[in-house]
Structures are given as C-alpha cells and as structure tokens.
Amino acid sequence: MKILKTLIAILFLIIFLYTFIYPMLIPISYLKKENPKMTAMMKYRLKQWEREGKKVKIKQIWVPLNKISPYLKKAVLIAEDDKFYYHEGFDLDAIMLAVEKNIKAGKLKYGGSTISQQLAKNLFLNPSKNPIRKIQEAIITFRLEKTLPKNRILELYLNVAEWGEGIFGIEAASRHYFGKPSLELNPWESALLAAVLPNPIKYNPLNPSSYVQKRAKLIYFIMKKRGIIKEEYKEVTEEAEPQPSEENKTEEISPQEQIFQENKTLSENQTTL
C-alpha cells in the first residue's frame, strides 16, 4: 500500500511539474530580437507527414511587420482577435462565448483563443485540446504578454501561422496563393487569407468554400465599415468580391461574435494569424 501511495504521489508530482513548471522554464526573452527557426507546430507537421509518407517541405519567409499589408494585419485582427491591443493575452468575452457554444454543442469544439494564445501554442505546444495543454498555453501566454510588446507578438504570429500544407507565415502564403509579396495584398485578398486561418489545411483562399466566402465577406464588410479600405482599392476589390448580403450587415459591437457564428466547422487546427 505504501509503495502504491508513493507511486501515486510521484505521478502527481510529475504531472504538476510538467503542467506548471515546464511552461515557466521555456526561454522566451530571446524572441525580443530573434526569430524562432522551428516551431512546435512545424515539428508536429513534419512528424505527421512522415507517418503519412508525404514529402512536404516547409515554406516560410520572414518579414518585419512594416513589410506586411496593413489590410492583412487588420483582416487577421478582425477575424482572430479584435481586442488584441486592449487585452493582456486573454479575451474573457470570447472565452465565455466559446464556453457557451461548447455547452450547446456538447463537446470542446470552439476555442476563443487570442492571437497571443495561438502564438504560445504554435511556438511551443502541440495542437491537442486537453486541459494540461490549455493550462500550459495560459502560462506561456501570460509570459509572452509580459515579455514582448504587442507589435512583436503580432509580427511573430503572422510569420509562424499555418496557411496551408507546408506553408507557414504570411509572406510564403501571399507568394504561394497570389504570387506577390505580402505588402502588396489588397483588402479582398487579405480577407480571404484571414478567413481560412481557422483551418488552413481544409480551406483554400484560391478555391474558397461557401464558408470561407461568407467569412471573408464579413471581414471585408467590417474593414469597409471602419474606413480601413482606401478609396483607390474599392473599385478593384468590389469587382472581385461578392457584395455582403443583408444578413451579414449586423451590428458591429463584437466582430468576433459575428465571425464566431460562421465557425460551425472549425477543427483542432484553429490557429489564426
């Protein structure tokens, strides 16, 4: 009996150390000036491709934040974390909305993660949704927010986010899908790229499903409503994108809540910028 109790105590200690201490030991300060060479998500994908017998190479081109289209930055913020510059890593409203949706769905389907949380997961953790991983993510998110300025967090996120099979970062995504640097992305292209972030393996901005089109239209509509889109682009982009229907013209109190309503088919890959 004593041996059993000792083994249980050791097991709980290991779980405690792995859950709470390990995330505190991960080096983060270097991210102030250095870019990570390989993220946890990239390593996860490499192992996955190896198991599946796929020969996929990682495509990634690092770019500073000021070399990324302002439309893309705004589109991603609207789609993934509209309160990014106002919270400290956690959006309580989005979390409560996700809990509400999960209760209705009867399973863990929605995340409500901020960009900081997604970055923590992409850089250091696996994409599973188990409680231990979520606690580790919260600890790392807190540390990222305390260590790095907001613009650096956004820059890192946009450079490591997954945008397709083997495609990581907005520069590689922009060149792959639209054949241009990310600085040259127009508002509609930006909305399409932001719209696929919840599941970039399933969705393609060049061949958008009805879900992606509806989501992109909503993102585009919010950008237009906020006066983000310059006059010179309106003529070009409005020819390319379908006009938002009346049902999309909802009150702009919470863009995340509006977009959340479109997320009926999100997978574990919710990332996502």
For residue 200, is it within any domain? yes
Does residue 273 form part of some domain?
Answer: no
Any domain includes 271: no
Region 209-217: what's the mean pLDDT? 95
| SS3 sequence of 179-239 | CCCHHHCCHHHHHHHHHCCCCCCCCCCCCCCHHHHHHHHHHHHHHHHCCCCCHHHHHHHHH
Residue 266 covered by a domain: no
Percent of the chain scored above 90 by pLDDT? 70
Q: Examine the pLDDT at 273 and tell me if it is beyond 60.
A: no
* Burial class (CB within 10 angstroms; exposed 0-12, middle 13-18, buried 19+) of 51: exposed
Rounded to 10°, the helix 150-160/170-178 angle is 40
Task: Give the domain extent around 87.
Answer: 2-260
What are the tokens at 270? Answer: 């919710």
| Confidence (pTM) | 0.83
The CATH number assigned to the domain holding 21 equals 1.10.3810.10
More confident residue, 243 or 175: 175
Q: How many structural domains is the chain composed of?
A: 1
The total of other beta-carbon atoms located within 10 Å of residue 66's CB is 9
pLDDT bracket for residue 241 (50, 70, 90): low
Q: Are 95 and 112 in contact (CB under 8 A)?
A: yes
Angle, nearest 10°, between helix axes 70-80 and 187-195? 30
Nearest one of 206, 167, 198 to 57, comparing CA atoms: 167
Residue 175 lies in a domain: yes
Q: What are phi and psi of 162, to 5 degrees?
A: -85, 135
Amino acid residing at 185: L
In a domain, 194, yes or no: yes
Q: Is the pLDDT of residue 248 over 90?
A: no
pLDDT over 60 (residue 109): no
Average pLDDT over residues 63-68: 98
pLDDT at 253 (0 to 100): 37
Examine residue 157 and state whether it is found in any structural domain, yes or no. Answer: yes
**DSSP output for 151-171:** HHHHHHHHHHSB-STTBBSHH
Determine the pLDDT at residue 243. Answer: 52
Given CA atoms 156, 158, 159, 164 in this order, what sign does their dihedral have? positive
Q: In the prediction, which pLDDT does 105 show?
A: 61
Is 265 within the bounds of a domain?
A: no
SS3 109: coil
Summarize pLDDT for 164-208 with one digit per residue, the tens: 999 999 999 999 999 999 999 999 999 999 999 999 999 999 999
Whether 36 and 144 have beta carbons less than 8 Å apart is answered as no
Burial class (CB in 10 A: 0-12, 13-18, 19+), 231: exposed
pLDDT class of 2 with cuts at 50, 70, 90: confident
